[in-house]
Structure 1
Amino acid sequence: MTLIGEERAQTDIAHRKDVRRVVLSGYLGSTIEFYDFILYATASSVVFGPVFFDGLDPTVALIASYATFATGYVSRPLGGILFGHFGDRVGRKKMLILSMIVMGVVSFLIGLVPAIPTWGALMLILLRAVQGIAIGGEWGGSALMALEHAKGKHRGFAAAFANAGGPTGALLGTVALSLAAMLPREDFLSWGWRIPFLFSAVLLLVGLFVRKRVSESPLFEEALQAQEEKKSTRQPIPLFAILRRPKNLLLAGLVVTAGFVIQALFSTFGVNYAVSHGVTESEGLRAFAVSQFFSIFAMLGAAWLSDRHGRKKIMLAGLVGMIVLTYPVFSLVGSGNAMLVIVGFVLALSLCQALTFGPMAAFVSEQFGTTSRYTGASLGYQIGSLLGAGFTPVIVASLAAAAGGAVTYVMLFLVAMCLLSLGALYFVKETKDYDLAQTN
């Protein structure tokens, strides 16, 4: 082998190691994000009502608890703008380290909130808002770092690890809360629920160890160098560059909305619905945990297929599948049989939602050029999360309460949101062959 060949081989090996490290960093980041998400989502269903809204009617307490859950989603777009702006200007890596620190610290602090009805609820809202800002910048950076490092025909699969960490974190969070829920009811509501939140500090340390070792995005560095060579040309603020042509931003947000609806509905209302129809809390949480385990592999498989057949086709299959399976899934989840409940959660989350989420990281990031990609991807994703997940628990709980516990309106809401995302998907171009090196 010639000297040039040896150097090229060494460079290729170093590049592959770097890509693996970046992918692992994104995976751990989204694991922490969704660990925090599922802890809060599930706790809002089974803990926060009786602990922080004691004295209210149980249904009113549940809706009030879900309202604190929505706070984090309201602040996410702001986080997407802030972290996206500096991520597009000073670098992806710095913003990702900061977002991870804030996410982990806030989750830890939630575990320390005192059980004081009014003040405790206000502390939850404040911490949830700060956490939402950090999460608003986490996903976009994780996804596009993997996308921009991989670059080639496997970039959808690489970027999908930013989403595959989601079910991993959800699985860990559900298992942690399920173990805590095995305590006597009084002990669980008094102090047991806090342990999983405090454990987030361990995940934070592991994630930071990996994230500090990753390199900056090569495409970002190239774009930054090109900008410095054109100092005479004033560069637009990333957000303004996105808003000049808002079509991609709005369509991307609407396309991913239904995936978030499925996620939020079944991680909160779905668990509560299963429990109210005959299974124990541990069995309901276990069903969700099983679905999340299978979702890890299903999302990566969906992303792999999207690299070959296109993002749109795979996401289309997930949305249509959810429309067709809505009634059977709710029948299974409300059957009162623990095994059938597992099947219902697997169909909704491990199949339909995984098909929409697998290609999502690449799909959203590919809508924008390099110099505004962090801002565009973060904001588009968080618009979808706000519309799809932020208010879904409150909406479906209110719909079910208005119908006397029946879920007809809940099912219609789910189908309507899937149709909305399908309509937006129709107007979006296929992006799997898009040239990532474009700066605008």
Structure 2
Amino acid sequence: MSISLELSSKAKPLDRSNIRRVVISSWIGNTIEFYDFLLYGLASALVFGKIFFPTISPLAAMLASFATFGVGFIARPLGGIFFGHMGDTLGRKITLMITLGGMGVATFLIGCLPTWDHIGVWAPILLVILRFVQGFLVGGEWGGAMLMVVESAPANRRGVLGAIPQTGGFSGQLLATGIFALVTLLPEDQLLSWGWRIPFMLSFVLVLVGLYMRRRLEETPVFKEIQQREQQNPSVAQGKTSSPVVQVLRHQWRSILLIMVLRFAESVPFFMATVFAVSYATTQLGVEKQTMLNVVMATCVLAFPMHALFGALSDKVGRRPVYIFGALCAAAMAFPFFWLLESGSFGLMVLGYILLINIAHNSINAVQPSFFTELFGPKVRYSGASIGAQLGAIVAGGFTPFVAKGLTAINHDDWTYVAAYVAVAALVAAFAAWRAPETSRRDLTQEVD
């Protein structure tokens, strides 16, 4: 699908080549972010329980492995606060250079970790520490990358251009799943000894590409305009008595809370399907690991046109209608997804993933960059969008695999409670979207009341 960069007649002329660079670089950065983060999810489901928690029962090892997955989400809001302040005061570009480089280093070091057999209890301790660092850096990455695009885009293209970098999550998933699919072809002893390390170490190469792209970017027109206003009116800058984080928490806490609730319809289905369901299908339903990885990869490929479609639609009809549609679809597909998964048929499992992920999730995910950033004024936008999204990531996404595994454990390995959990989460988010303001026509240079 071709994307037009034509501006509305009332918009100021913008540098199209710069917009394209911003979109592409944000897409690459988002790809790397999700490659690093989702790779850990796959390893948690298939490997980490055996090599970092070998002395406890298989169920306890799986729960412990998923819990370390959740630790990264606990660190996200802290990163959102720290890097949100940096991005709102020092600039978007320098902040994104730091988050991307640091995240790549943390992921590389995970691939270098000795296992339980080598250093005992220190192995899972170091794993948790690096996972925390990884999550802290991710907390400042997403908000800034999305801001770069939305603040640089023409007003009538913010939805579709903001949706394109969101496909980086699926590019990262495609890379992580594809590389992990290759290493799982190794004999199990080689996979557990050195094969699982390869995908983590390859992150270093991807980060170098991302840093090269980002260093060529300019600051966003919105941030430049705010800086010019403060230079022309020094009393405005001198009148600042609190940091952007304090300001947004004091005056726009409702928007932060709104984002947290909205994320339930996106994060719960996604992490249930891409982390928990992979583990459940391979351990409880007897589906081959390679088959499940192929199912996830097929879903990732379809995510690209779907994001462009829903992003463009949100520019026409608004953010709220698209978000409500996606949330209701996620609720409706919670139970059918597991019925199709139980079939064991590759085609039917792909169909389940298409309905839950490519239609329900993708419609929501495509709208989030523009919707979330438009909720805040320019002086606190990085902080507000980052804090809201990352707090939502904790309650809605980080512990979804852990919660889902626990729900099956108390229900004799049955998935019914898990499906109900997904449906309720999506319905709550649909209600929040219905109550939310429509933001698609807002002027991003103006403060929000």
Give the TM-score, by structure 1 length: 0.95
CA distance in 1, matches of 2:303, 2:423: 21
| 2:342 corresponds to | 334
**How far did residue 120 of structure 1 move?**
1.2
After superposition, what is the alpha-carbon deviation per residue over 1:157-204, rounded to whole angstroms, capped at 9, x for unaligned? Answer: 111123111111111101010111011111111111110111111110
CA distance in 2, matches of 1:420, 1:206: 39
Q: RMSD of the alignment, in Å? A: 1.3
CA distance in 2, matches of 1:135, 1:257: 19
Aligned match of 1:152 in 155, 176, 195? Answer: 155
| 2:399 corresponds to | 391
| 1:8 corresponds to | none
| 2:4 corresponds to | none
| 1:129 corresponds to | 132
Aligned match of 2:260 in 246, 253, 262? Answer: 253
1:246-325 alignment runs, 5 A limit: 246-275=253-282, 276-325=284-333
CA distance in 2, matches of 1:288, 1:369: 37
After superposition, what is the alpha-carbon deviation per residue over 1:263-284, rounded to whole angstroms, capped at 9, x for unaligned? Answer: 1111111111221313200111
The one-letter amino acid of 1:70's match is G
| 1:242 corresponds to | 248
SS at structure 2 position matched to 1:153: helix
Contact 1:298-1:350 within 8 A present in 2 as well: yes
| 1:61 corresponds to | 61
1:140-289 alignment runs, 5 A limit: 140-233=143-236, 234-235=239-240, 236-245=242-251, 246-275=253-282, 276-289=284-297
Contact 2:335-2:420 within 8 A present in 1 as well: no
CA distance in 1, matches of 2:250, 2:445: 20
| 1:118 corresponds to | 121
**How far did residue 253 of structure 1 move?**
1.8
After superposition, what is the alpha-carbon deviation per residue over 1:141-164, rounded to whole angstroms, capped at 9, x for unaligned? Answer: 110110111132001111112311
CA distance in 1, matches of 2:378, 2:138: 21
Contact 1:164-1:299 within 8 A present in 2 as well: yes
CA distance in 1, matches of 2:359, 2:171: 16
Contact 1:37-1:170 within 8 A present in 2 as well: no
Large movers: runs of 4+ above 4 Å: none
CA distance in 1, matches of 2:280, 2:351: 15
CA distance in 2, matches of 1:328, 1:91: 45
CA distance in 2, matches of 1:53, 1:426: 44
After superposition, what is the alpha-carbon deviation per residue over 1:110-144, rounded to whole angstroms, capped at 9, x for unaligned? Answer: 11111124211111110111111110011111101
Contact 1:137-1:378 within 8 A present in 2 as well: yes
Give the TM-score, by structure 2 length: 0.93
In structure 2, stretches of 5+ residues that fail to align are 1-11
| 2:422 corresponds to | 414
CA distance in 1, matches of 2:305, 2:388: 25
| 1:49 corresponds to | 49
Contact 2:35-2:173 within 8 A present in 1 as well: yes
**How far did residue 103 of structure 1 move?**
1.0
The one-letter amino acid of 1:344's match is G
CA distance in 1, matches of 2:311, 2:295: 24
CA distance in 1, matches of 2:286, 2:24: 40
Identical pairs, percent: 38
Contact 2:265-2:330 within 8 A present in 1 as well: no
Aligned residue pairs total 429
**How far did residue 208 of structure 1 move?**
0.7
| 2:6 corresponds to | none
